Amino acid sequence: MADKKMANGSGNEVCHDDSSSPIKAQTIDELHCLQKKRSSPSTPIDSSPGGVSALSEEDRQRQQLQSISASLASLTRETGPNVVKGDPARKTGSSKVAHMAQHQLVPTINISDSSMKFTHVLYNLSPAELYEQAIRHEKGSFMTSTGALATLSGAKTGRSPRDKRVVKDENTTKELWWGKGSPNIEMDEHTFMINRERAVDYLNSLDKVFVNDQFLNWDPENRIKVRIVSARAYHSLFMHNMCIRPTDAELANFGRPDFTIYNAGQFPCNRFTHYMTSSTSIDMNLARKEMVILGTQYAGEMKKGLFSLMHYLMPKREILSLHSGCNMGKNGDVALFFGLSGTGKTTLSTDHNRYLIGDDEHCWTNTGVSNIEGGCYAKCIDLSREKEPDIWNAIKFGTVLENVVFEEHTREVDYSDNSVTENTRAAYPIEYIPNAKIPCVGPHPKNVILLACDAFGVLPPVSKLNLAQTMYHFISGYTALVAGTEDGIKEPQATFSACFGAAFIMMHPTKYAAMLADKMRKHGATGWLVNTGWSGGRYGSGSRIKLSYTRKIIDAIHSGELLKAQFRKTEVFGLEIPAAIEGVPSEILDPMNTWSDKGAYKETLQKLATLFKNNFETFTNYKIGTDNTLTEEILAAGPKF
């Protein structure tokens, strides 16, 4: 009995726990090594379909690092830095030997400090690894109560369009839109190289850089390989979410990128450099396939810089690039949604009865539509679970929250707080949206919906457009918002943005409009102008059209029922309006019926028509093709008074 008691641990001798075998580590460091294991590729690493890769893992790693070193090469020294994979905070002697490389075109003559040091490359890190880097090393980075990474973008909390430059050379002089109304501000090749050298030297001076190799465009036939070199984990995680994430097999065979971004946003440009107007400069060189960012840490510059690139590359392949939302019904009917801020584009394109292809950037190819991106970039100001449940639920581990304010102890975000900026944002992978269609592709669109928030209250809730009218209103890119009371302005302010994204287009707006009309004609798509703004008077006297009515209108467009309605033309704009829509009061379909003062209605209608006409003067002298027929056709579709 005594022996039994001792065996059960009830005796006086020391008890030994023999419930598990001893660990396979002799030191804490060895134990930490056991904690992590290398994951296997999600798909076989083949150099060709069904083949076996001829490269060993070590050779593949070396080639990968040589490619990164070449990207970071200084053009004056013609050598890249010594790059080594891994975090410099983790000292491992063996990794330097196994995973080190230097790109060198000619023997190094001028030795510099930067060429003698190692630049540690943190390559395509996972969100968990990037969280660790951000929270450890980047001040202002925290995990929120829902698991998102909250971070700050520094002094710039939005894009800097006046500091964006494009190299004007022999080709871009002929291909791009320059001059009045254009977003393209020129710089020369020499100035670009000065800024590139400044950015590369800054990145090479750091102990570590983050490198993302990813894709643009879900259409495999027109996929673009992009490399993003940055100094912040925040930027790396942002682009991890916003670009298409490669599989392990795709990454192993990634090769040379089609385009490279050098994000040295923490370092300013030299104000004394030609073409510089501030300490910020975002420079694109289409011939070199490179973009340089200096003096701004706002991550949206990378996203929209790549969108501008697609606005250049895709039309050259006869593919239309679009600043739009896109969804698809259960029967495969696709709709495109265009609209400026405040028009309801996000709300209306997010429909639980339809699949989301994408929320912002798309391509229309010969086979259908494809999302350019791998994520969503949503506004967060005044976000609530009730208004935007999908966005609310997407803000979890892996999501980047920019410039939000949170409670210090609980880390709960206050989305109504604009202490840092009004432009608070969330960047998350598209698969965080429950009804996202993966892969993000669909057939040819059936409907093209142009959204306008008309605060003048004179546009109909919905109008059917012919092709010329679709081009006219697409080029106009109209909405009207109400100025703040602090300005002392009470009248609505008209806003026009060509192609509903003037800041990002590279070629003349009529180029994109002509391509849109051609694809709509070829594939039988119908154009619609939907007013989500005011009815019964302008802002201040009328009332905003109920969202429930707008949803009924959109549903009727999707189902095809609206095409069966009887239509009649309005005066001035010549828009075709339906006589009736189920669930929508018939009297609001003609805006004149809702105004008690018919004279005021006609006066306001004339005023808006004049604003359209004045805005369109920028585009009247552009010739499409060998003659001016199409331009004249578009102009004829405008208001008549």
Give the CA dihedral 43, 44, 47, 52, nearest 10 degrees.
-170
pLDDT in tens, 288-337: 999 999 999 999 999 999 999 999 999 999 999 999 999 999 999 999 99
Please state the domain extents for the chain: 58-104+118-315, 320-364+444-636
Edge-first strand listing for the sheet containing 186-187: 100-101, 82-85, 118-123, 208-216, 224-230, 259-264, 290-294, 281-285, 164-167, 186-187
- At 101, is the pLDDT very low, low, confident or very high (cuts 50, 70, 90)? low
Report how far Cα 638 is from the mean position of its chain's Cα atoms.
32
- At 89, is the pLDDT very low, low, confident or very high (cuts 50, 70, 90)? confident
More confident residue, 461 or 82: 461
Which class would CATH give 320-364+444-636?
A: alpha beta
pLDDT in tens, 386-417: 988 999 999 999 999 999 999 999 999 999 99
Is residue 373 classed exposed, middle or buried when 0-12, 13-18 and 19+ CB atoms within 10 A define those classes?
buried
Residue 347 and residue 334 in contact, taking contact as beta carbons nearer than 8 Å: no
407/100 Cα distance (integer angstroms): 44
Residue 461 and residue 453 in contact, taking contact as beta carbons nearer than 8 Å: no
Q: Is the pLDDT of residue 33 over 80?
A: no
Mean pLDDT (whole number) for 270-292:
94
pLDDT in tens, 205-252: 999 999 999 999 999 999 999 999 999 999 999 999 999 999 999 999
Active site residues per annotation: 159, 304, 323, 341, 345-346, 360, 425
Residue 302 and residue 261 in contact, taking contact as beta carbons nearer than 8 Å: yes
Mean pLDDT (whole number) for 147-176:
96
The percent helix, strand, coil of the chain (3-state, each to 5) is 35, 20, 45
Is residue 196 classed exposed, middle or buried when 0-12, 13-18 and 19+ CB atoms within 10 A define those classes?
buried
Give the CA dihedral 413, 417, 418, 422, nearest 10 degrees.
70
- At 31, is the pLDDT very low, low, confident or very high (cuts 50, 70, 90)? low
The per-residue pLDDT for 81 is 79
- At 115, is the pLDDT very low, low, confident or very high (cuts 50, 70, 90)? low
The per-residue pLDDT for 467 is 95
610, amino acid identity: T
Q: Which two tokens stand for residue 27?
A: 């030191």
The per-residue pLDDT for 84 is 84
The per-residue pLDDT for 323 is 97
In CATH, 58-104+118-315 is 3.40.449.10: yes
Provide the percentage of residues in the chain whose pLDDT is more than 70: 84
Provide the percentage of residues in the chain whose pLDDT is more than 90: 73
Is residue 178 classed exposed, middle or buried when 0-12, 13-18 and 19+ CB atoms within 10 A define those classes?
middle
50-63 burial, b if ≥16 CB within 10 A, otherwise e?
eeebeeeeeeebbe
Average pLDDT in the chain: 88
Is residue 400 classed exposed, middle or buried when 0-12, 13-18 and 19+ CB atoms within 10 A define those classes?
buried
pLDDT in tens, 192-203: 999 999 999 999
408/402 Cα distance (integer angstroms): 16
Cβ contacts of 57 within 8 Å, gap of 6 or more: none
For the residues of 349-402, what is the DSSP string, one character each?
H--TTSEEEESSEEEE-SS-EEES-SEEEEE-TT--TTT-HHHHHH-STT-EEE
Beta pairing, strands 290-294 & 259-264: parallel
More confident residue, 105 or 216: 216
Q: Which two tokens stand for residue 199?
A: 């950015």
